């Protein structure tokens, strides 16, 4: 497989930081990290991260492009904002994490089996189809995210919850037929397509 | 002076009257203390009480005043009388506040009070009025050695106060290291920018100041005398010399950069493109901001290696942090960014102290300087450039980075003169069996270091070092002070620091030097006994010329005359009494503090017999820390043994072993000495006093064996002013110990 990122890898071999500054939301903050480690120590999920935030920032500065963008780390962030509240340098760490995840996704470098990454894609596809979130379909696709057998198992387990939601009018089984949508679905699609083109053009030079 | 007439005044205020029988105290003063007048007063420190005393002095011929009231540290303004000696019996902090108010305790509490009155009267009897020696003269003129930023600041600050200054600089120009800077950090916020070097303006101000005489290419050939009357010979390169007289001296000789040739593993001395910070600074300045390699080509990548050969226990490295180097590297990295290059700072701990430090760091980061936490393993040539290999400590990675120039952030080596105590230190190290230290000191002794001040003191040519060659003294209480009175150090010769700190430091030193001149003019001691007029004298007939006093004086105050007798220099003396404690034949004394004033106090204590179950504990407490802590124990109502009798001493160093022998012979069951922390991190206000006392007391065992007494009866403690609970505890422990080993058989 030819690597579409090859050219960019060359270009930024010594300067991944600049790439992050140019493309990642709040990326210009990365250079301000003073490596105190408070964020890593504050993150409730910290011990489960492949590379906690402090390390991610150092890796960016050390030019470790593939390791950072391919890492599952940023996808672990639950947006609890603990790190932001505590960072003595005032880095918007949460936002940078989401920014890095988004950028990795756009380049197609995100880890392929990371559940948060997968769910995000499901959510996006679900939403953009009709302009409204189809909760029934989203729920089901979430159940079946990890294969058919798993999906059945989860669905059975969640039966009671689903029933309860139905009874209280929180879930319409007819949604399975397509569900309600916004008035101008086509217009939305066009808008999104345009936005995507603009974004792509922006990062085209980084895609090499 | 007319005949001695003791007036004893006993206060009944602050609860003293309720807890003690003051009529009995007055009786004790009269009968045993031989006070001609003994009066009680219900509120002695009020205007009426003070007037009562003053009237007796004025009309009744009282010339030795004994105040039995609160601690000698309290109400000093009220109880200050001209022309009389003053003794204080501490009945408040020292008696009623440390004893329970119970019927059972009443008797022993009264005994404490009685004894303190006896002691104060005994002291009074042996005190004389101190008077200045007549050696004094007022000379508002300073010598500043070193024409760098610290020296120039000191000269300018002194000139502002009306003093005149001789400023001596070894090289051909003023400015020192600060003058070599391309840019500097601003003196005021915002600190995240770089400012122009303003040293030139300072040089112009010095040169244009009529109160300052600048001597370039000049060194100090000889310094003799004492504060208020130092006679100094200046020698110029051309061979001419010049004699001046100054009141005080400021040594601001700065530092040398650590020699990078000692760091070959970091490329030091191997490539012209590996340099120290000063060399880098000079290069950038010479190129007007362009960053150029030795071959003249532009340098694109510069790597800064922090803590090069410092903060390291490797042999030959500097063990300390030089304080400024992180900030300096950040500044220099910004030169590189400004010139369009890339700069990486490899650090282990980045230290940017001070209010400005954080802004400086941020400023560097904003400017795009890369910071990497790691340990540099080596710097080698690679092609036309350099390769730095290091361990990235965050990523736990061994990695390399290419560089055109590598700057080693090496440390500051103080530009001090030879250590006058090197021979003594070697002897001590040998005695301790510390071979490493001995070898190190011997190497230091052999390395030729030129003297800076050429002091004509018996104790050596230069100011003593504290640690690592820095000429500091009491780093907490008395910055700028050295152990040579009237000589102050400022700037990096005192401790590592940056230019801003050196300016502050020099300002402080200038003020201390001025204070020293003014004190010397009045015959008064410098800190910590500032204002003290007493000074030591010795009885020449008794002196055996053993020279202990001249050696042990921590301040080099005593020279030797042609006949080999000690020669005191009053203005150099800090009045610690270490010489008095040292003298084996006890011929040294102060007018108001002597072997007798303390010896008679301890003998005046009433000694109950062996079977009374009332032991007596003598506590000799340093007046600087131990005694205040005891007072505070009283203020916070900590109880301690009613058998303790506490005598404040100027410094534990002033304790003469005769006091211990006398105490044991007169029946004390235990003797406790309390002084400040000694050793490398000493807290002793007289630097070596506590150490000397500990050393002398280690020899007291012989005396105890001769008397057939247990050696636990005499103990020496290092205490601090905060030991408010610990000190009462150790006194109580001593009482318990005496209970276990039994009473002394020497009670008569
Ligand atoms: S808390 Fe802030 S400064 Fe500290 S390591 Fe994390 S991001 Fe960096
Ligand atoms: S030992 Fe102390 S009191 Fe004696 S001369 Fe030296 S400084 Fe003065
Ligand atoms: S310590 Fe006493 S005996 Fe010895 S030289 Fe000094 S004054 Fe003389």
Segments in chain B below pLDDT 70: 1-2, 135
Q: Please report the pLDDT score of residue B517 as a whole number.
A: 95
| B442 CB within 8 Å of a chain A CB | no
Residue B421 belongs to some domain of the structure: no
Q: Please report the pLDDT score of residue B681 as a whole number.
A: 83
- Ligand 2, from B568, B576, B588: best to mutate by most atoms within 8 Å of Cβ? B576
Q: Are residues B159 and B71 in the same domain?
A: no
| Ligand 2 atom closest to Cα of residue B568 | 5
Cβ–Cβ below 8 Å for A58 and B350 = no
- Is residue B658 classed exposed, middle or buried when 0-12, 13-18 and 19+ CB atoms within 10 A define those classes? middle
CA distance B216 to B234: 11
- Ligand 3, from B459, B551, B588, B595: best to mutate by most atoms within 8 Å of Cβ? B588
Q: Band of the pLDDT at A7, cuts 50, 70, 90?
A: very low
A with B: how many residue pairs have Cβ under 8 Å apart?
34
CA distance A16 to A68: 10
Q: Please report the pLDDT score of residue A2 as a whole number.
A: 40
Minimum CA–CA partner of B402 in chain A: A14
Residues B576, B579, B584, B589: is their CA dihedral positive or negative?
negative
Q: Which residues of A touch B394 (CB under 8 A)?
A: 35, 54-55, 58
Q: Band of the pLDDT at A15, cuts 50, 70, 90?
A: confident
Residue B475 belongs to some domain of the structure: yes
- In a mutational test of the B interface, the residue from A13, A61, A66, A68 whose CB has the highest number of chain B CBs within 10 Å is A61
Nearest CA, atom 7, ligand 1: A33
List the structure tokens of B28.
Answer: 């004790």
In DSSP terms, A50 is beta-bridged to none
CA distance B255 to B249: 18
| A32 CB within 8 Å of a chain B CB | yes
Domains and CATH numbers, chain A: 3-111 (1.10.1060), 115-198 (no CATH)
- The closest alpha carbon to A138, from A152, A121, A154, A150, belongs to A121
Residue B510 belongs to some domain of the structure: yes
Q: Are residues B553 and B629 in the same domain?
A: no
Residue B530 belongs to some domain of the structure: no
Q: Band of the pLDDT at A202, cuts 50, 70, 90?
A: confident
Q: Residue B26: helix, strand or coil by DSSP?
A: helix
| B373 CB within 8 Å of a chain A CB | yes
Q: Are residues B581 and B664 in the same domain?
A: no
CATH number at residue B276: 3.50.50.60
State which residues form the domain around B632.
607-748
**Number of independent structural domains in chain B:** 5
Q: Band of the pLDDT at A170, cuts 50, 70, 90?
A: confident
Q: Are residues B108 and B27 in the same domain?
A: yes
- Residue ending a domain, among B108, B129, B150, is B129
Q: Are residues B146 and B125 in the same domain?
A: no
**Ligand 3 centroid from CA B566, angstroms:** 7
Q: Are residues B226 and B162 in the same domain?
A: yes
CA distance B366 to B356: 15
Cβ–Cβ below 8 Å for A58 and B395 = yes
Q: Are residues B616 and B741 in the same domain?
A: yes
List the structure tokens of B19.
Answer: 């807890």
Q: Please report the pLDDT score of residue A13 as a whole number.
A: 44
Q: Are residues B331 and B367 in the same domain?
A: yes
Residue B743 belongs to some domain of the structure: yes
Residue B532 belongs to some domain of the structure: no
Farthest CA pair distance, chain A: 59
Cβ–Cβ below 8 Å for A62 and B361 = no
CB atoms within 10 A of CB B321: 17
Residue B31 belongs to some domain of the structure: yes
Q: Residue A197: helix, strand or coil by DSSP?
A: helix
Cβ–Cβ below 8 Å for B395 and A32 = no
Q: Are residues B496 and B554 in the same domain?
A: no
Q: What does the mean pLDDT of chain A come to?
A: 84
Asked if pLDDT for residue A208 goes beyond 60, the answer is: no
Query: Would you tell me which residues 142-161 of chain A have a C-beta closer than 8 angstroms to some C-beta of chain B?
Result: none
Residue B677 belongs to some domain of the structure: yes
CATH number at residue B584: 3.30.70.20
Minimum CA–CA partner of B359 in chain A: A89
Q: Are residues B124 and B54 in the same domain?
A: yes
Over residues A144-163, the mean pLDDT reads 78
CA distance B266 to B264: 5
Peptide bond into B528 cis (omega under 30): yes
Q: Are residues B618 and B742 in the same domain?
A: yes
Structure-token match 């003598």, residue found: B618
CATH number at residue B28: 3.40.50
Residues B600, B606, B609, B612: is their CA dihedral positive or negative?
negative
Q: Are residues B247 and B290 in the same domain?
A: no
Structure-token match 């390169």, residue found: B237
Nearest 5°: the CA angle A153, A155, A161 is 130
CA distance B570 to B520: 9
User: Does the predicted interface ipTM exceed a cut of 0.95?
Assistant: no
């Amino acid at each position: 497989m030819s690597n579409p990122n090859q050219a960019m890898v060359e270009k930024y071999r010594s300067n991944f930081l600049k790439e992050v500054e140019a493309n990642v939301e709040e990326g210009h903050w990365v250079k301000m990290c003073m490596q105190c480690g408070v964020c890593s120590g504050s993150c409730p999920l910290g011990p489960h991260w492949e590379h906690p935030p402090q390390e991610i920032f150092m890796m960016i500065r050390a030019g470790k492009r593939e390791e950072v963008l391919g890492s599952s780390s940023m996808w672990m962030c639950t947006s609890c904002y603990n790190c932001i509240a505590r960072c003595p340098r005032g880095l918007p760490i949460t936002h940078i994490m989401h920014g890095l995840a988004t950028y990795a996704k756009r380049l197609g470098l995100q880890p392929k089996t990371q559940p948060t990454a997968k769910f995000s894609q499901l959510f996006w596809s679900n939403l953009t189809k009709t302009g409204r979130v189809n909760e029934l379909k989203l729920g089901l696709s979430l159940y079946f995210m990890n294969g058919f057998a798993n999906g059945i198992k989860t669905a059975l387990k969640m039966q009671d919850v689903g029933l309860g939601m139905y009874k209280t009018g929180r879930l319409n089984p007819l949604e399975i037929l397509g569900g309600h949508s916004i008035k101008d679905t086509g217009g939305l699609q066009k808008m999104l397509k345009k936005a995507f083109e603009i974004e792509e053009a922006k990062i085209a030079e980084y895609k090499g | 002076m007319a005949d001695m007439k003791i007036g004893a005044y006993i206060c009944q205020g602050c609860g003293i009257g309720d807890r003690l029988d003051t009529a009995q105290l007055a009786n004790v003063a009269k009968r045993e203390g031989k006070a001609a007048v003994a009066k009680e007063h219900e509120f002695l420190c009020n205007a009426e009480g003070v007037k009562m005393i003053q009237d007796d002095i004025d009309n009744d011929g009282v010339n030795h005043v004994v105040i039995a009231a609160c601690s000698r540290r309290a109400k000093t303004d009220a109880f200050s009388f001209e022309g009389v000696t003053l003794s204080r019996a501490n009945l408040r902090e020292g008696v009623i506040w440390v004893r329970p108010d119970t019927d059972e305790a009443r008797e022993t509490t009264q005994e404490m009070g009685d004894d303190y009155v006896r002691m104060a009267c005994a002291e009074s009897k042996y005190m004389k009025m101190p008077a200045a020696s007549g050696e004094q003269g007022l000379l508002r003129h300073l010598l500043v050695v070193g024409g760098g930023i610290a020296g120039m600041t000191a000269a300018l600050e002194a000139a502002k106060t009306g003093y005149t200054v001789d400023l001596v600089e070894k090289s051909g120009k003023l400015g020192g290291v600060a003058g070599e800077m391309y840019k500097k950090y601003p003196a005021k916020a915002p600190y995240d920018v770089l400012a122009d070097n303003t040293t030139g303006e300072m040089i112009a101000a010095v040169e244009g100041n009529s109160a300052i005489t600048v001597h370039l290419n000049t060194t100090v050939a000889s310094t003799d005398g004492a504060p208020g009357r130092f006679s100094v010979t200046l020698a110029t390169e051309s061979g001419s010399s010049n004699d001046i007289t100054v009141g005080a001296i400021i040594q601001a000789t700065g530092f040398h950069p650590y020699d990078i040739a000692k760091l070959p593993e970091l490329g030091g001395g191997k490539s012209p493109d590996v340099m120290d910070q000063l060399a880098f600074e000079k290069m950038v300045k010479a190129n007007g901001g362009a960053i150029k390699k030795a071959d003249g080509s532009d340098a694109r990548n510069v790597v800064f290696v922090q803590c090069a050969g410092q903060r390291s226990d490797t042999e030959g490295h500097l063990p300390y942090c030089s304080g400024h180097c992180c900030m300096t590297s950040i500044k220099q990295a910004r030169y590189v960014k400004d010139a369009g290059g890339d700069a990486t700072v490899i650090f282990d701990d980045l230290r940017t102290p001070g209010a400005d430090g954080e802004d400086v760091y941020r400023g560097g980061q904003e400017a795009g300087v890369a910071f990497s936490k790691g340990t540099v393993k080596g710097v080698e040539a690679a092609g036309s450039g350099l390769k730095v290999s290091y361990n990235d400590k965050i990523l736990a990675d061994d990695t390399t980075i290419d560089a055109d120039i590598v700057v080693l952030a090496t440390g500051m080596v103080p530009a001090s003169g030879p250590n006058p105590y090197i021979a003594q230190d070697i002897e001590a190290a040998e005695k301790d069996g510390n071979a490493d230290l001995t070898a190190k000191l011997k190497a230091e002794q052999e390395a030729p270091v030129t003297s800076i001040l050429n002091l004509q003191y018996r104790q050596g040519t230069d100011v003593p070092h504290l640690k690592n060659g820095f000429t500091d003294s009491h780093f907490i209480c008395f910055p700028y002070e050295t152990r040579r009175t009237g000589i102050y150090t400022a700037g990096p010769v005192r401790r590592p620091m940056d230019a801003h700190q050196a300016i502050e430091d020099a300002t402080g030193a200038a003020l201390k030097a001025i204070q020293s001149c003014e004190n010397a003019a009045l015959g008064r001691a410098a800190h910590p006994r500032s204002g003290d007029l007493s000074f030591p004298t010795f009885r020449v007939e008794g002196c055996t010329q053993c020279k202990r006093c001249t050696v042990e004086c921590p301040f080099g105050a005593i020279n030797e005359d042609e006949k080999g007798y000690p020669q005191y220099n009053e203005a150099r003396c800090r009045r610690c009494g270490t010489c008095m404690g040292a003298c084996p034949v006890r011929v040294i004394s102060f007018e108001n503090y002597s072997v007798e004033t303390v010896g008679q106090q301890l003998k005046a204590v009433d000694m109950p017999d062996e079977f009374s179950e009332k032991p007596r504990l003598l506590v000799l407490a340093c007046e600087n820390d131990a005694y205040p802590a005891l007072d505070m124990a009283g203020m916070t109502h900590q109880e301690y043994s009613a058998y303790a009798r506490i005598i404040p001493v100027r410094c534990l160093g002033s304790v003469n072993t005769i006091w211990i022998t006398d105490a044991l012979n007169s029946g004390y069951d235990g003797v406790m000495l309390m002084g400040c922390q000694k050793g490398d991190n000493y807290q002793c206000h007289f630097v070596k006093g506590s150490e000397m006392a500990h050393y002398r007391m280690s020899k007291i065992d012989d005396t105890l064996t001769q008397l057939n007494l247990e050696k636990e009866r005499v103990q020496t403690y290092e205490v601090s002013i905060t030991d408010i609970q610990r000190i009462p505890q150790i006194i109580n422990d001593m009482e318990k110990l005496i209970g276990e080993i039994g009473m002394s058989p020497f009670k008569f």
